[in-house]
């Protein structure tokens, strides 16, 4: 059976690998010249700029995602960096008992608990109740997927089993907790402010923090040395070894449909590639409303398009600099307040700066040099997308003026870096849309709603269309690599199930 796959991102490569393992003939069609999709890096001079991975959930034993990655890759040969500290956060109004305004989010749970209790012994009970759910999570080997279900419903189905009742209790309890609700319980002013600022002053469900932290502690959420593209190329190599074929620089113009059945792909130069099944691991909006011309939709899909059910995940403004200096003593990831409000050309106002110093990955820069990135989230993505499309000179000018402001702020923060800058790079929502075709320049598909347990409104199949499947980070709100790999695996398993074959993972 022949299966065509649109997109050589993580989900497309994952689906392709599993399908090849199960005896199917697959081909992937990718508009870009490299694999990975949003899991990407790019070179500029002697520097490499990373645009995605901060950690891989399941980088080592201690997470069920490790088992899934290990079905595809030899994870033991990939060098990972496990940070002792996830974040160094500078608060504004308060100080700890030693007079410091720096909060440290350690990745070792024992160290983190001792640190927090030392800072605020009066909050010992709240602190222990914050740490305990992560310890509970570590006791259970939760399945990332079950059959063809999305991630969260799969976990829920798994924990319904009696042996998971303890986990279920804490899981449902966490559902109601945010960094703000925990802050309300804290008596210590410094700790209270730190929790409020964990996500740049936004209120976020604690599952977003506690699940990764439980893996950080077990060193199963490391950063792959070499960066995102290097990791994606390992998956590409695996797919090719399994006999798959990839057509790069081959954008898909249309999904060919006959009698409501997907029959093949019309690609550049009007060449047609027929298949028995078509999988789109590409952008959700492009797939439904462009490649399929909006012919296979229902009210639920239209509500998604009109943003009535979910919001599109934030877009990113990323400023990268290649610096002549190793900055080994600087924190690798930090957030700090600005003396004056920073206003982006798109109108977004920022009160804090997020700085990522890649002083731990020697492959991204020559010896003695470092890549530093500053990232901003924005929802005013159309400003950048339309400006680049319609007024290219103004687009370049806006980037250059904003970049100059960032250099001034970094120069002050890092102790005079202006004269050490050897490379600059600016990526906007228009950049991400241009290279990955993600709708509105989104970096992770859909933004999760308040109810993280709600089933995804995005379906693997489209109404009225046969022999077609969606498989991407758009399938589950939150997106990211865990969703991409679990969805790719689920689609492959669903196809083998319908074909009445036993699903193989070797």
Domain ranges, ordered by start, for the chain: 2-40+61-76+225-310+447-498, 83-218, 314-439
pLDDT attached to residue 428: 97
Report the chain's C-alpha Rg in angstroms: 23
- Can you name the residues that pair with 398 across neighbouring β-strands? none
pLDDT at 142: 57
Return the minimum-mean-pLDDT range out of 60-64, 93-97, 235-239, 258-262: 60-64
> For residue 27, what pLDDT band results from cuts at 50, 70 and 90?
very high
Q: What is the mean pLDDT of residues 345-351?
A: 95
pLDDT at residue 164 greater than cutoff 70: no
Averaged pLDDT of the chain? 91
DSSP codes joined into one string, 337-405? EEEEEEE-TTS-EEEEEEEEE-TT-TTSS-TT-EEEEEEEEES-HHHHHHHHHH-HHHHHHHHHHHHHH
Q: What is the pLDDT of residue 176?
A: 78
**CB neighbours (10 Å) of residue 74?**
10
Alpha helices in 218-373 (DSSP H): 227-241, 284-285, 299-305
Angle at 145 between CA 141 and CA 148, to 5 degrees: 155
β-partners of residue 342 are: 350
| Residue 315 CB burial class (10 angstroms; 0-12, 13-18, ≥19) | buried
Tell me the C-alpha to C-alpha distance, in Å, between residue 43 and each of 50, 326, 363, 425: 9, 19, 11, 10
Among candidates 17, 437, 448, which has minimal Cα distance to 246?
Answer: 17
**Residues facing 261 on adjacent strands:** 258, 466
pLDDT at residue 174 greater than cutoff 90: no
Checking if the pLDDT of 154 tops 60, the result is no
CA 164 to chain centre: 28
Judged against a pLDDT cut of 80, whether residue 175 lies above it is answered with: no
Task: Yes or no: say if 444 and 399 are a contact pair by the CB < 8 Å rule.
Answer: no
CATH code given to domain 2-40+61-76+225-310+447-498: 3.50.50.60
pLDDT of residue 358: 97
pLDDT the model gives residue 239: 98
SS3 content of the chain, % helix, strand, coil (to 5): 40, 25, 35
Indicate the burial class of 316 (C-beta count within 10 angstroms; 0-12, 13-18, 19 or more). buried
Mean pLDDT of 97-125: 97
Please state the rounded mean pLDDT for residues 102-121. Answer: 97
Q: Which of 175-179, 180-184, 351-355 has the lowest mean pLDDT?
A: 175-179
Residue 148, pLDDT score: 42
Is 60 exceeded by the pLDDT of residue 158? no
Q: Categorize the per-residue pLDDT at 466 as very low, low, confident or very high, splitting at 50, 70 and 90.
A: very high
Half-sphere exposure of 309 (CA within 13 A, CB side): 15
Mean pLDDT of 124-152: 72
Residue 12: name the closest of 270, 328, 246, 337 by CA: 246
Look-up of token digits 């996830």: 86
Instruction: Report residue 146's pLDDT band, with 50, 70 and 90 as the boundaries.
Output: very low
> Is residue 166's pLDDT more than 90?
no
The neighbouring-strand residues paired with 41 are 50
Q: Return the pLDDT at 290.
A: 97
- Indicate if the pLDDT at residue 216 is higher than 50: yes
**Residue 167: per-residue pLDDT:** 67
* pLDDT category of residue 454 using cuts at 50, 70 and 90: low
What pLDDT, on the 0 to 100 scale, is given for residue 163? 60
Question: Where does the pLDDT of residue 133 fall: very low under 50, low under 70, confident under 90, or very high at 90 and above?
Answer: confident
pTM of the complete model beyond 0.85: yes
- Segment 457-462 mean pLDDT: 87
pLDDT band per the 50, 70, 90 thresholds, residue 209:
confident
Query: Rounded to the nearest 10 degrees, how much is the dihedral formed by the CA atoms of 320, 368, 362, 352?
Result: -30
């Amino acid at each position: 059976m022949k299966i065509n796959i649109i997109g050589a991102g993580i989900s497309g490569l994952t689906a392709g690998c599993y399908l090849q393992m199960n005896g199917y003939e697959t081909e992937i069609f990718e508009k870009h010249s490299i694999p990975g999709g949003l899991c990407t890096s790019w070179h500029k001079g002697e520097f490499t700029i990373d645009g995605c991975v901060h950690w891989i959930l399941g980088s080592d034993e201690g997470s069920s995602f490790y088992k899934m990655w290990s079905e595809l890759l030899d994870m033991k040969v990939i060098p990972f960096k496990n940070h002792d500290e996830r974040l160094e956060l500078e608060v504004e109004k308060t100080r700890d008992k030693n007079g410091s305004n720096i909060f440290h989010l350690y990745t070792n749970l024992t160290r983190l608990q001792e640190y927090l209790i030392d800072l605020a012994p009066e909050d010992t009970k709240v602190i222990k109740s914050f740490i305990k759910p992560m310890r509970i999570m570590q006791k259970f080997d939760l399945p990332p997927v079950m059959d063809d279900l999305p991630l969260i419903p799969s976990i829920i189905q798994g924990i319904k089993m009696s042996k998971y009742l303890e986990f279920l209790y804490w899981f449902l309890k966490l559902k109601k907790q945010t960094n703000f609700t925990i802050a309300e319980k804290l008596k210590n002013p410094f700790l209270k402010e730190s929790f409020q600022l964990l996500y740049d002053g936004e209120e976020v469900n604690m599952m977003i923090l506690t699940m990764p932290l439980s893996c950080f502690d077990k060193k199963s959420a490391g950063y792959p040395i070499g960066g995102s593209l290097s990791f994606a190329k390992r998956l590409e190599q695996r797919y090719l070894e399994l006999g798959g074929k990839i057509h790069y620089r081959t954008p898909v113009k249309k999904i060919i449909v006959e009698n409501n059945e997907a029959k093949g792909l019309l690609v550049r130069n009007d060449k047609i590639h027929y298949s028995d099944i078509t999988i789109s691991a590409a952008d959700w909006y492009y797939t439904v409303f462009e490649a399929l011309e909006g012919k296979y939709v229902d009210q639920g899909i239209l509500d998604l398009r009109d943003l009535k059910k979910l919001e599109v995940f934030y877009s990113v403004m990323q400023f990268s600099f290649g610096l002549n200096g190793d900055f080994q003593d600087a924190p690798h990831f930090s957030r700090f307040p600005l003396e004056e409000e920073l206003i982006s050309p798109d109108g977004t106002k920022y009160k804090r700066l997020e700085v990522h110093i890649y002083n731990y990955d020697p492959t991204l820069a020559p010896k003695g040099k470092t890549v530093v990135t500053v990232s901003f989230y924005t929802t005013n993505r159309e400003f950048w997308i339309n400006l680049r499309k319609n007024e290219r000179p103004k687009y370049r000018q806006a980037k250059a003026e904003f970049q100059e402001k960032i250099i001034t702020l970094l120069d002050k923060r890092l102790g005079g870096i202006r004269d050490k800058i050897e490379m600059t790079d600016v990526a906007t929502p228009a950049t991400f849309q241009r290279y990955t075709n993600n709708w509105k320049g989104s970096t992770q598909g859909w933004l999760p709603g308040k109810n993280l347990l709600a089933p995804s409104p995005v379906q693997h199949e489209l109404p009225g269309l046969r022999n077609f499947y969606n498989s991407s980070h758009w399938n589950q709100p939150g997106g990211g690599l865990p969703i991409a790999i679990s969805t790719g695996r689920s689609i492959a398993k669903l196809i083998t199930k319908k074909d009445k074959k036993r699903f193989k993972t070797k």
